[in-house]
């Protein structure tokens, strides 16, 4: 398996896709078709998310190892430390090590408030990065918020904590956003704090106004008024909403790449069409 850090060190622009573990057999069939559809695009790597409190632990492991074993794609597993004991995390990491998985995304992973889960032994993602380093020679990624994490007291402290975390990891992937200025501000802040590791912008094309707005609010991202106004003008026409979402995501990707972003990370929601359209629009 190829380490993502080696790909980035070579100066290659990365294109990556993110999937979530399906909760039903029918949804698993959809993901399987999505993998078939996206593999010909030769992504630099793909990642698989991890449910709150370990709710998808086995299925995440199954999908990651299956992608590694049965496709040409490099797979990265997400791991969260919230609601996990240290011994549980050691077991998870060692299982990936035994399976030959070398790329891990270390996350705090705050569970939804309506889940009554026990506290974990590790408080922050940086603690999980350190634990992974103790266990093996992994490439370790972390998350970054172009707009502050919703639990951060202010932008300055958010940037400082992100810099400390990224200094011990190999690269970062951002939460999605809709204004490139947020990404470039993040990069500028990290550079000023002495951290120049690669930060890959996360892209979420808006295909559903309500769904995307809800996810944006959960992660503390702004849904700009100018952007919302475009959708409200055509809100009764799903095809028009979708076209605006694809067009605006394409524009954002071009601005990011032209501005020096080392790659793009697409949140696919386990569907392939929007990602393939944007990929084509960009001439990738």
Catalytic residue among 12, 18, 98, 102: 18
Are the beta carbons of 30 and 63 closer than 8 angstroms? no
Are the beta carbons of 206 and 231 closer than 8 angstroms? yes
58 is catalytic: no
68-72: Cβ within 8 A, 24+ apart: 68/1, 68/99, 68/100, 68/101, 71/35, 71/39, 72/39, 72/42
Please, which residues have CB within 8 angstroms of residue 109's CB and are 6 or more apart in sequence?
50, 52, 80, 81, 82
The CA distance from 194 to 190, in Å, is: 6
Integer-rounded Cα Rg, in Å, for the chain is: 18
Query: What are the residue numbers of the active site?
Result: 18
């Amino acid at each position: 398996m190829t380490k993502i850090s080696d790909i980035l060190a070579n100066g290659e622009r990365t294109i990556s896709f993110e999937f979530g573990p399906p909760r039903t057999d029918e949804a698993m069939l959809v993901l399987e078709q999505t993998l078939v559809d996206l593999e010909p695009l030769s992504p630099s790597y793909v990642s698989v998310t991890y449910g709150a409190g370990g709710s998808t632990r086995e299925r995440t492991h199954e999908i990651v190892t299956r992608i590694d074993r049965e496709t040409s794609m490099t797979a990265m597993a997400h791991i969260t430390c919230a609601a996990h004991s240290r011994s549980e995390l050691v077991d998870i990491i060692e299982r990936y090590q035994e399976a030959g998985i070398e790329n891990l995304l270390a996350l705090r992973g705050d569970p939804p408030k309506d889940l009554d889960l026990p506290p974990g032994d590790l408080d922050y993602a940086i603690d999980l990065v350190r634990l992974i380093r103790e266990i093996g020679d992994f490439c370790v990624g972390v998350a970054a918020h172009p707009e502050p994490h919703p639990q951060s007291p202010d932008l300055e402290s958010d940037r400082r904590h992100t810099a400390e975390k990224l200094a011990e990891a190999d690269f970062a992937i951002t939460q999605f956003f809709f204004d490139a200025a947020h990404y470039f501000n993040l990069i500028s802040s990290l550079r000023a704090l002495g951290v120049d590791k690669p930060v890959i912008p996360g892209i979420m094309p808006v295909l559903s106004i309500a769904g995307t707005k809800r996810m944006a609010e959960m992660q503390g991202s702004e849904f700009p008024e100018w952007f919302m106004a475009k959708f409200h003008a055509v809100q009764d026409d799903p095809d028009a909403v979708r076209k605006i979402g694809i067009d605006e995501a394409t524009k954002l990707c071009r601005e990011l790449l032209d501005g020096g972003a080392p790659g793009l990370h697409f949140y696919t929601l386990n569907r392939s069409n929007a990602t393939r359209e944007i990929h084509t629009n960009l001439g990738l």
